[in-house]
Amino acid sequence: MKARVLSGIQPTGSPHIGNYLGALKNWAKIQYDYDSIYCIVDLHAITVYQKPEELRANPEILHSAYLAAG
| 0.85 exceeded by pTM | no
Q: What confidence tier does 44 reach under pLDDT thresholds 50, 70, 90?
A: low
Q: Which residues contact 37 (CB under 8 A, 6 or more apart)?
A: 4, 5, 6, 7
Q: Which CB contacts under 8 angstroms, 24+ apart, belong to 4-7? A: 4/34, 4/35, 4/36, 4/37, 5/30, 5/34, 5/35, 5/36, 5/37, 6/37, 6/38, 6/39, 7/36, 7/37, 7/38, 7/39
Q: How far is CA 70 from the centre of its chain?
A: 12
Task: Please give the pLDDT value at position 55.
Answer: 77
